[in-house]
A and B are shown apart, each in its own frame.
Chain A
């Protein structure tokens, strides 16, 4: 048993238990933040993507004991921000969503990109989401929606 303290969507939270529990399980089951999805459980698909200290990581392969003191942002936290709202609106407007399972991870990947590169090229976007698998859309509308967000959200990032 260990006590882990971290910031989750802007609030300081505590976790008590096995430090080898996967972050995705702590988020979904411990904190009821089910926006973060689990696809492969092996770091391959990006469905479980969150931001750790502003950087994109896959929460299915991170033990909660590795994030003491870190800042974690999930889709639930991001969507409350102007940047997150812009992304959500752009995904809707651009028709980027079919079944939706990959979308929280895609939005997190887009946010991670725009934080360091507010005016990405199409190629930049494709590279940034290259660790996120979508079984429905064929990616083009997702890429376009991220580019749309970067235009609509001018000044936000």
Chain B
């Protein structure tokens, strides 16, 4: 079998090829090349046409808009994201913990979202921060929340003529923040479990609260409904709501493998974050 492969030189060319042939974008290739590998000395065979977009400069780089929204080009690598101080803490940290340095030099944010694996590290903090993906086709551009884009494991809303061009992260606004990744081995460890959470406290009242669990179900778990249990509550009463909240969050996640471990660890992480917040320390990241 012979591969059909295109190497577009511009985004416009890529969009044309995508529309005419449905060719699948290969960004870093760290998911695709492994998924279709065949062995030593043998070229991977793809059962669909491929277009290598790795070098499209139009989709690279990070910029910040006037209102503080951070826009990350789809082909920006984990290393580039991790080292850019303008990128919100949670996303930087998640990018810095992906694989080893060689992987982070190659893996892209567009590929991490496009792959839509529940174990992918970037969707979790992006969903916490209500980030959106920008999807472009030859005749249209649309934007939707990463949370809506990813439907379930390996399934997303990318249309056959579309390419992910960017990720947009609204400026985060929180008093306390938290991020944890539990992996097996430090390098090249696919997440076993991740959690991030933010809380905003104004005049002693919790005005925003969010949590986001990764690798604990078929997709990243958020629940605005359960989050609401804490919103509007006075911070001095928080400790009396922690157990009830933690139990409710347990109903939000649906871990498949090692469910006891994932459930117990998620509860412990949330309990820890919330009980530290309840003591009203200096604003910032809670370790």
> Footprint of B on A, CB under 8 Å?
2, 18-22, 25, 28-29, 38, 41-44, 46, 49, 52, 55-58, 60-63, 65-66, 68-69, 109, 112, 127-128, 130-132
Contacts and interface: CB of A to CB of B under 8 A. Distances in A.
A20 B37 CA distance: 10
Interface residues of B, number: 32
B102 A49 contact: yes
Contacts of B42: 25
Given A20-B50, A66-B52, A131-B188, A61 B34 contact: yes
Contacts of B157: none
Nearest to B100: A131
A63 B106 contact: no
- Tell me the dominant secondary structure on chain B's binding face: loop
B45 to A, nearest CB: 8
A57 B5 contact: no
A55 B101 CA distance: 9
Contacts of A52: 105
A18 B29 contact: no
A46 B102 contact: yes
B231 to A, nearest CB: 39
23 contacts: A2-B5, A19-B5, A19-B52, A20-B3, A20-B5, A21-B43, A22-B43, A22-B44, A43-B33, A49-B102, A52-B105, A55-B79, A55-B105, A57-B102, A61-B30, A62-B29, A62-B106, A63-B26, A63-B44, A66-B55, A68-B7, A131-B101, A131-B187
A127 B96 CA distance: 12
Given A18-B2, A68-B7, A57 B105 contact: yes
B106 A65 contact: no
Given A20-B50, A109-B102, 19 more contacts: A19-B3, A19-B5, A22-B43, A22-B44, A25-B41, A28-B41, A55-B79, A56-B105, A57-B102, A61-B106, A62-B29, A63-B29, A63-B52, A66-B54, A69-B55, A109-B101, A112-B101, A128-B101, A130-B186
